[in-house]
Amino acid sequence: MPLSQLDFGEALAIGAVNAFCAAMFIGLAAGLVVKRYELEHQTRTSLRTTYTNLLVAQRRSRQLSVMLAQTGGQATNPDLAKQAIAAHDEFIDSYHALNLDVSKQMWRDVCRLRNILDDMLELALEGEARGCADLVDVARAARQNLERSFRARLRHSVLQRRKPLGGYDAPRREAPPGASPPTRLRFRLLRLRSWRSADR
């Protein structure tokens, strides 16, 4: 029926229905925006907590690996080796928890930090004091890179440039077909040598 043929009451009723539908739509849209904001706020809060736990765990893992390496490794200090392994396991737990809500760049940075701490523990267990000590600064640089990408994830301004990590910036590579792969410790030492060369 044309609008011109409606009486005043019918036109008023249609107008009220239209206004009600518009209000419902606006309310629904506003509710979705608020819900999305609340979800992002909860995610950011959870991410901050997980990131803080990871910082504590990575520092403890790094420190215990250095201590173990300086005392001769697992063969001479099995109790300290157990502590170093447990501390590294705590870091790994935080690492997996953090990966649930991170950006792609943050995931790359935390993977690099894990690779370095893995190598530090491996060197420490073998009593390679110098190699383990040389990775301390690399681990700190990796942690600073992670902080940089974490700030970007929270949409804060980035305060520092990314630090080069030498061989740790490249992805892990498999041995060529037919080649005999190096032992885990030798692989760590090769990567450490690569980092030293890149740092000069």
Q: Please give the structure tokens belonging to residue 109.
A: 């940075």
pLDDT at position 13 is 62
Residues 112 and 107: their CA atoms lie apart, in Å, by 9
CA 200 distance to own-chain centroid: 28
pLDDT at 55 over 50: yes
Q: What is the largest CA-CA distance in the chain?
A: 99
pLDDT at position 178 is 46
Residues 118-140 have a mean pLDDT of: 95
Residues 123 and 88 sit within 8 Å (Cβ to Cβ): no
Q: What percent of the chain has pLDDT over 90?
A: 47
pLDDT at 160 over 90: no
Residues 105 and 152 sit within 8 Å (Cβ to Cβ): yes
pLDDT at 131 over 70: yes
Q: Could you give the domains of the chain?
A: 42-172+181-199 (1.20.120)
Residues 132-150 have a mean pLDDT of: 94
Residues 49 and 68: their CA atoms lie apart, in Å, by 29
Of 150, 137, 135, which is closest to residue 189 (Cα–Cα)? Answer: 135
pLDDT digit string (tens) for 107-119? 999 999 999 999 9
Q: Please give the structure tokens belonging to residue 173.
A: 């590579």
pLDDT digit string (tens) for 76-103? 999 999 999 999 999 999 999 888 778 8
